[in-house]
Amino acid sequence: MTGETLIMAIRKFRKQMKPIIWLVTILMVLGGGYATLSSIIGSMSNGHSNYAFKLNGNKISKFEVEKTKVTMIDGYSRYLGDKVDRGLIDILAFDEVVNKNLTLEMADKLKVKVSSGDVNAQYDKIESSIGNKDQFKRMLQVQGYTKNTFKKELKDNLTVEKTLAKIQEGINPTDEEINKYYEDNLYIRFSGKPLAEVKSEVITDLKQTKGIEEYILLLNKARKEMKLENISEEYKAYVERNEMEEDGFAISNVEMAKRTLNNLFITNGDREKARELSKEYYKAQIKLAKIAIERGITVDETLPLDYKFEEYKKGLFENIKNSLNPTDAQLKEYFEKNKLVYDTFPSADSYIAILKVDPSAEDKAAAKTRAEELLKTLTPKNFAEVAKKNSDGPSSPNGGDLGWFSKKDMVEPFQKAVFAGEVGKIYPEPVETIFGQHLIYIEDRKDDEERAKASHILIVPKISEATLNTKKAEIETVKEKLANGTVNFETLSKENKDVLQSTLFSKIDDAGYIPGLGYNESLTKLIFAAPINSVQTALIEDKFYIFKKINEVKYKAADFNELKNRVKEDYLNSKTQEELKKLI
């Protein structure tokens, strides 16, 4: 187990990264991925072939494929644990690398450019979020990066992001498309609002949806035309090939791997059951596609298979839906059975800014004093028990045990103390890091390997009443600026470094749930009690909130006559789904 101080920092690091980034995490070290990458790096230096395959004449490194594997294993392991099927991951990681590099080629054709300034800005943002340059450098090293290779990763990901954005920019929905999308999503997406009020949202949705569709078409075309050659022996089994054929439809190993991997969540890691579910799914999709074809429904044959199945299903859905003609009696019966769905429950829309409160110098001094007093009572024998009762760190339940870790795994002050102190003894003074004060018991050490085994007690500075009172005065100043319009919630985070988040939250319910934030009953009670457009403040669990409610909806019982069109739409959708199930 590595040191929790590094893990805490890396968790913070990962939160700052955009979801699109293929990020290798610290867990690759824990799970053996680091050894795999290290062996590949070693083979490169020993003159062995360092690329996995050639794609359109460009060499793709083994390191990139293995790094992608490790990232995927990490992602799925969070939910499946040791039941992740690495054979499936191998297929998907190989495919992911192909797609990524084809997208980068697509970017060149579209003349998408990412400047060094863009990359440096992203790099600096991530580095500053960690707050310690040396710590950031060590984290990159642990994850297999140098500064340059990490910047290359950032550039690639920004390029992919800009490529998708450029494709979307070229999408101009027609009036017919706008009207159809609006009608199809009138109640589900737009809550029955008139088109004029939501037209910009409709266009944005269509640009995104059709942009993704266009990207998929371009990527599928690129895959059909690509030249994949000189594949290293250990990767040949991962190349896309047909795995299942039925009634003129061919399912590839990649499509089967995606479906099976997701089905592992359902089967609790049983691969055979997951694979059977995948086969049953594709047989059902093929059956629906054949019925759709028989009814004259056609789709774009250049689409990937899963997208073709979805288009057949959509066409068949519309075909069945248009054949239904419910009576008023049927609609009223449906309405009564689902009346709670149509009742309007209390909700609110509110701007919310969350501001952090950092401990003052006095708070840090108090933590140090507490650590010094605790240190006087410590011995190697009672260390674990004292840690369980007093440590603020996540290793507290384990008596502060950090296990074995390497020198570079820890923040600098911590690792210096561990490798300078006497083995078998408690370090003679508290050690301060960005996390707080540490009392360290150095249990064992291998200096030649730069590895150590230690336990620690973490004392995190507590925010004092005096610090909170000082912060309250600052909050009042911000509140006044928001109230008089000097600043606004949208730009507040750029103007105030203590603002963790500031945005509009919609559909806040009176049960305490804030979409995008989670449950916070104390805050929601204050929001519902506040007047409309009044800037308010609140201190809840050492966090300051500034909020402004801009809209509130009161409870209203549903009336069938007012909602007849919506009820009919829901009835038709429900009955169509039932008919689809019967067909399968």
Span 448-467, average pLDDT: 92
Task: Check pLDDT > 50 for residue 281.
Answer: yes
pTM to 2 decimal places: 0.67
Superfamily of domain 31-175+207-236: Porin chaperone SurA, peptide-binding domain (1.10.4030.10)
- Predicted confidence (pLDDT) at residue 10 exceeds the cutoff of 60: no
3-state secondary structure 49-60: CCEEEEECCEEE
39-43, 449-453, 533-537: segment of lowest average pLDDT = 39-43
- Answer whether residue 6 shows pLDDT above 60: no
Q: Which CATH number fits domain 361-459: 3.90.950.10, 3.10.50.40, 1.10.10.10, 3.10.20.30?
A: 3.10.50.40
List the domain boundaries for the chain.
31-175+207-236, 347-358+465-553, 361-459
pLDDT-above-70 percentage for the chain: 91
Alpha-carbon distance values, 30 to 24, 114, 405, 409, 442 (Å): 12, 34, 10, 12, 21
**pLDDT at position 256:** 96
The confidence score (pLDDT) of residue 188 equals 84
187 vs 174, more confident: 174
- Residue 4's pLDDT is 47
What is the structure's pLDDT at 131?
66
With beta carbons less than 8 A apart as the criterion, state whether 500 and 354 touch. Answer: yes
Q: How confident is the model at residue 38 (pLDDT cuts 50, 70, 90)?
A: very low
User: How long a stretch of residues is the chain?
Assistant: 584
Give the CA diameter of the chain.
85
Burial environment of residue 356 by CB neighbours within 10 A (0 to 12, 13 to 18, 19 or more):
middle
Structure tokens at 326: 């419910």
Say which DSSP state 345 is in. P
63 confidence band (pLDDT: 50, 70, 90): confident
